[in-house]
Amino acid sequence: MKRLALFIPFLLFIGLGFFLFRGLSLDPKELPSALIGKPFPAFTAYKIDGAQVTEQDLKGEVALVNVWATWCPTCKQEHAYLNKLAREGVKIFGVNYKDQTDKAIIWLEELGDPYVFNIKDEDGMLGLDLGVYGAPETYLLDKDGVVRLKHVGDVNDRVWKNKIEPEYRKWVNQ
Amino acid sequence: MIQRMNKVRYLLFLCFLGLSSMSHSVIELLEFDSEQEKARYQVLIDELRCPKCQNQNLADSDAQIAIDLRNKVRELMDQGKSDEEIKHHLVARYGDFVLYRPEVKKETYVLWYAPVILLLLGFLVVIFVMVSNKRSSEKDEVSFGSEDERQEKLRSLMKEKSEKE
């Protein structure tokens, strides 16, 4: 019994080692979204082209909501991939976050427009309701407009295949 | 040599830059109706954490999102919301991360109670060690027997020794 007790520190060490090792692969910058499982926040805003839009316009189909801005370098990086997804039939709504509309329009003309439409969020208040803390951010909405997943950072092949697509398929097939 | 000096100077300069950004919190030209309101605002932005920055409160951060959130706090105060309501408003959007003092609930039990439990465990271990030490030293005494027995043993040993000689 006494002998076995000598192993307690060793076991504690193993336990601590396990948690520390796991900590190596966690990204402390990634916050869990408070919005998962909740409906997209209610809003009334304007599209980039001037028409009025509310959260009801996002419902109907499984879709992505991509928060972006022309001042955001990573947004430029992911733009080509969003174009590709749009070509493959993924519905993407844009939130033009704290940006100037004329710059956004030029950007879309030059780089292509993967978005169904873009919501103007000049003062960032819709972003605030969404819990945006840095563009780009991408949300997955189900048919009823409920937020199912949030990704912070660029959407690329790896992120899409490993993280977003499985969930996307799940909600499409539901 | 001169180049190296310049490098050192540059590094020093960078260090001081870091210092200055740490010691100054954001100074804002906000008008408040009363000192009380101003103090309340200060407490709130001291206690709320900037979601973008890993370990800064809203008061200390210059990040755009921190500025937006400070404005939001101010706006909610002007709408007559209580401190709790304001915190709840931000938690609903950014999660518990924004609170430096998270609420006590199922997910945060470990956070709140683990230190107390570990402290108690520590005490238990200390008490256990002390008790077992005492017991083992008592046992040693018992093995030597009582005063009389020891005297008796001593006498017999001495006798043995003198007989041998």
Q: Are A67 and A127 in contact (CB under 8 A)?
A: yes
For residues A36-74, one letter each, b for 16 or more C-beta atoms within 10 angstroms of the residue's C-beta and e for the rest, the string is: eeeebbebebebbeeeebebeebbeebbbbbbbbbebee
| Closest CB from A28, A29, A31 relative to B95 | A31
* Residue A103 reports pLDDT greater than 70: yes
Reported ipTM:
0.77
How long, in residues, is chain A? 174
* Residue B23 reports pLDDT greater than 50: no
Tokens of A31: 């916050």
Coil, helix or strand at residue B105: coil
The nearest CA of chain B is from the CA of A119 a distance in Å of 19
Say yes or no for a CB contact (<8 Å) between B93 and A129.
Answer: yes
Would you list the domain boundaries of chain A? Answer: 33-173
* Residue B83 reports pLDDT greater than 60: yes
The nearest CA of chain A is from the CA of B95 a distance in Å of 5
Give the number of other CB atoms < 10 A from CB of residue B95: 18
The nearest CA of chain B is from the CA of A107 a distance in Å of 22
Q: What is the pLDDT of residue B2?
A: 54
Chain B residues touching A34 at Cβ < 8 A: 91-95
Instruction: Give the integer Cα–Cα distance in Å for B58 and B81.
Output: 18
Would you list the domain boundaries of chain B? Answer: 31-103, 110-164
Q: Are A122 and A99 in contact (CB under 8 A)?
A: yes
| Closest CB from B54, B65, B93 relative to A28 | B54
- Residue B24: band (very low, low, confident or very high) from pLDDT cuts 50, 70, 90: very low
Residue pointed to by tokens 């040599």: B1
A vs B, Cβ pairs < 8 A, gives: 35
- A152: nearest CA in chain B? B52
Chain A residues touching B65 at Cβ < 8 A: 132-134
Pick among B54, B69, B75, B94 to test the A interface (most A CBs inside 10 A): B94
Q: Are B50 and B69 in contact (CB under 8 A)?
A: yes
B-contacting residues in A 95-154 (Cβ below 8 Å): 98, 124, 128-134
Looking at domain A33-173, its CATH architecture is 3-Layer(aba) Sandwich (3.40)
| Peptide linkage before B51 cis (omega within 30 of 0) | no
| Closest CB from A29, A34, A98 relative to B91 | A34
Q: What is the pLDDT of residue B28?
A: 58
* Residue B22 reports pLDDT greater than 80: no
Looking at domain B31-103, its CATH architecture is Orthogonal Bundle (1.10)
Tokens of B58: 């809203």
* Residue A27 reports pLDDT greater than 50: yes
Coil, helix or strand at residue B60: coil
Task: Count CA atoms closer than 13 A to B135's CA, side-chain side.
Answer: 6
Phi, psi of B99 (to 5 degrees): -100, 125
Say yes or no for a CB contact (<8 Å) between B94 and A31.
Answer: yes
**DSSP-assigned states of every residue in A46-113:** EBTTS-EEEGGGG-SS-EEEEEE-TT-HHHHHHHHHHHHHHHTT--EEEEEET--HHHHHHHHHHH--
- Residue B10: band (very low, low, confident or very high) from pLDDT cuts 50, 70, 90: low
The dihedral built from the CA positions of residue A68, A74, A77 and A82, taken in this order, carries a sign that is negative
> Which of A66-70, B93-97, B150-154 reaches the highest mean pLDDT?
A66-70
The nearest CA of chain A is from the CA of B49 a distance in Å of 12
The nearest CA of chain A is from the CA of B100 a distance in Å of 14
- The predicted-structure confidence for A122-143, as pLDDT tens digits, reads as follows 988 999 999 998 889 999 999 9
Q: What is the pLDDT of residue A86?
A: 95
Say yes or no for a CB contact (<8 Å) between A133 and B72.
Answer: no
Q: What is the pLDDT of residue A33?
A: 81
The mean pLDDT value for B14-35 works out to: 58
Task: Tell me how far apart the 2 most distant CA atoms of chain B are, in Å.
Answer: 105
Tokens of A117: 């439409």
- Residue A89: band (very low, low, confident or very high) from pLDDT cuts 50, 70, 90: very high
